[in-house]
Structure 1
Amino acid sequence: MSSSWVETGIFEFIQLAKFDLHLFDPQMLLSAIIFWNRETRAFEFPCGFVFPTLLDIAAITGLTPLGDRFYPDIFEEEISIKELSITWDKKTYLAFINAHVGQPGTPVSPSEHIAFLMYWLSACVFCTPSLQVPKYYFTLAQALHLKKKVCLSKLLLASLYTCLEEASESLFRENGPQNLSRPLWLLQLWLNAIFEKKLSLTSTFTPTFELEGARLTTLTLENV
């Protein structure tokens, strides 16, 4: 499916999932979130206002900042959900994978490819809090399967901002921060890039994959 992913513009981003994106530096994350201003939608650091942009997303993930805006409510399904053999009663990540993986050596079917994209979007991109593959990712997965020029970078950036809003709000709850979800991995990589020189973040490991996000995964303090 690599040629299809290249044409859709998600090949490099999918390769990034091969790296440990869930290796976090909790102190760095919590310290940064304290500086998040929910009114200005920016980090108010001593050096000034700093915030993630589409160009940051492009540099880290390889996604293009261009593309069509995705409207799930008006997207015309070219493949009926009834035509696909997707099992909806097995939603946890492992169960979903086992239910839809094809036989080795056989061509990847549309059902298997869409199921993979749904899992990838749920577990590796947007990181659903339920640790399950929700049905609402079917429309987006189908659009990517059909090689639609969806601007995935905008969806990812919006999800990151939602993540920051929820994380900032949770810090001021009486019972403290709850389990945070959404793309915290992206926040970690972005912070690694922002503070790489300030914190002298270095690593002796050089990833074979030439993508900024892959290099940034090696700079997490617990990995240095």
Structure 2
Amino acid sequence: MASSTSTSVEVRSQAFQTEFEAICRDIQGSVLPNILTPWADDVGTAIDSCVLGPSIDGGMPERLVAHLKNNLVDLSAFDGGDFQDWNVIRPQQQWPTVTPDWEKWLPRMEHFFGQQWKDQGIYHLIKLFDRPLIMDRSLLAAALCFWSSATNTMNFRFGMMTADRSRYGRFVRHVPSRRGSKRRPCRRSRGGRELQTMWPALTRLAGNKAKNMLNYSSFYSNFGVEDSAEDDVIAPLGEVEHAAFLLYWLCKFVFCTQANKVTLEFAHLADYLAQGGRLALGPFLLGHIYRMLHDIVTDGMKPKHGGPLWAFQFWLQAYFPELRAAADINDAEPLANAFACAPKKHNTSALCS
């Protein structure tokens, strides 16, 4: 069933894309490149609002309107959808969960690198996971019924809706004012050795001696340094400990890898961040969200696929505030952190739909 569903979606997606590209070629000369365009009322009088561009001169062409309207509903969620998996204890096995290892490792690394994280703009995204995140199953299951893998959009009666990479970047990180600020130089992590250089030896060890070494608990045992609880003493940093911590965080919490363990995929990102480098994680995050939603929808609505489902949930809560509890929103932290601290609100699937 999942295979036929996926094939059906791919055929429809290809047909949609072919016609959409043809329309775009025809209207290319009518596209206005302005990022912000002043908005006018029905009689042409300018008002205090703007349109986020690029936009189309003269409004949406009828051919494009008809094409989008005819493809507004994506029935892939209903072709072979089975929602019973959403009722198990952990619908998505990769959903971020706080463990004793993480509870020890996070404050230890924050002691050494908290200011560096703030300079890099990743502090709040790391601290987002210092508490359990509650999955709103009803909200997610209902929202996925409106997701179109052909356009990477939520298709509603009022039109299509999605988030671009810049919005996701701002959604998960705090963007301080640039006024009066100076760009700090990139600092290298303490200890000169990079985590990537150790991977050949690690993979040999994992393959030959300890196949579970890259499981989260085993990975922490290999790279995490335990502080002395009795003496209240913070132990010196271990070799590549910071990079290992960041790799653990990227795999387990940010991207929620399908393997549900530490993988080599993000080792280069962890090394770069450990050295103080600045990365725009928004595009990475959005790309993984699109792939995850496609996998879930085309596999009969099964939530077993890895990916940042937590970020999709927070995005839904940001744009549909009536479906979340009241949150203490302020300019000092991203929306996701405020939503994580908000009390849980029970939503029924019918209400979310």
The TM-score by the shorter chain falls in which range? 0.7 to 0.9
Q: In the TM superposition, what whole-angstrom CA distance separates every residue of 1:135-193 from its partner, at most 9, and x where no partner exists?
A: 2221110011112222211111111111111111112xxxx625122000001111111
Within 5 Å, which residues of 2 pair with 1:205-220?
A: 210-217=333-340, 218=342, 220=344
CA distance in 2, matches of 1:189, 1:2: 24
**Does residue 1:184 correspond to 2:309, yes or no?**
yes
User: How has the CA–CA distance of structure 1 residues 207 and 111 changed in structure 2, closer, same or farther, with 3 Å as cutoff?
Assistant: farther
Of 134, 137, 140 in structure 1, the residue corresponding to residue 269 of structure 2 is 140
Which residue number in structure 2 is paired with residue 25 of structure 1?
A: 136
Contact residue 19 and residue 214 of structure 1 kept, 8 A: no
Q: Do residues 116 (structure 1) and 241 (structure 2) align?
A: no
Which position in structure 2 is the counterpart of 1:125?
254
Q: Distance in 2 between matches of 1:156 and 1:63?
A: 16
For structure 1, list consecutive stretches of 5 or more residues without a partner in the other structure. Answer: 65-77
Structure 2 partner of 1:49: 160
Q: Report % sequence identity.
A: 24
Is the contact between residue 35 and residue 45 of structure 1 (CA under 8 Å) also seen in structure 2?
yes
**How far apart, CA to CA, are the structure 2 residues paired with 1:178 and 1:185?**
12
Deviation at 1:207, TM superposition (A): 8.8
Corresponding residue for residue 99 of structure 1: 222
Change (3 A) 1:188 1:63: same
Distance 2:163 2:313 in 1: 12
TM-score normalised over the length of structure 1: 0.78
Q: 1:131 to 1:48 in 2, by over 3 A?
A: same
CA distance in 2, matches of 1:42, 1:34: 11
Amino acid at match of 1:181: G
Residues 106-115 or 139-148, more deviating: 106-115
- Alignment coverage as a number of residue pairs: 202
Aligned equivalent of 1:68: none
Supply the distance in 2 between the matched residues of 1:180 and 1:220 (Cα, whole angstroms).
Answer: 24
Q: Secondary structure at the match of 2:262?
A: coil
Structure 1 residues 219, 25: CA separation in 2 closer, same or farther (over 3 Å shift)?
same
Report the CA distance shift for 1:48/1:95 in structure 2 as closer, same or farther (over 3 A): same
Where 1:98 maps in the other structure, the secondary structure is helix
The 1:4–1:110 alpha-carbon spacing in structure 2 relative to 1, beyond 3 Å, is: farther
Supply the distance in 2 between the matched residues of 1:6 and 1:128 (Cα, whole angstroms): 25
Corresponding position of 1:194: 319
In the alignment, does 2:123 pair up with 1:8? no
Q: Give the letter for the 2:117 counterpart.
A: W
Shift of residue 117 of structure 1?
0.5
Larger Rg: 2
Question: 2:254 aligned with 1:152, yes or no?
Answer: no
Amino acid at match of 2:128: L
Residues 222 and 96 of structure 1, relative CA distance in 2, 3 Å threshold: farther
Deviation at 1:221, TM superposition (A): 3.1
2:108 counterpart residue number: none
Deviation at 1:219, TM superposition (A): 5.9
Whether the 8 Å contact between 2:153 and 2:160 is mirrored in structure 1 is yes
Provide the secondary structure at the position in 1 that maps to 2:155.
strand
Q: SS of 1:221's equivalent?
A: coil
Residue type of the partner of 1:93?
Y
Structure 2 CA distance for aligned equivalents of residues 219 and 80 of structure 1: 39
Shift of 1:60: 2.8
Letter of the structure 2 residue corresponding to residue 135 of structure 1: L
C-alpha distance in 2 between matches for 1:168 and 1:79: 39
Please report the RMSD computed on the Cα atoms of aligned residues, expressed in angstroms: 2.8
1:37, distance to aligned residue in structure 2 (A): 1.2
- Counterpart Cα distance in 1 of 2:293 and 2:344: 19
Structure 2 regions of 5+ residues with no counterpart? 1-112, 176-192, 207-212, 228-233, 348-353
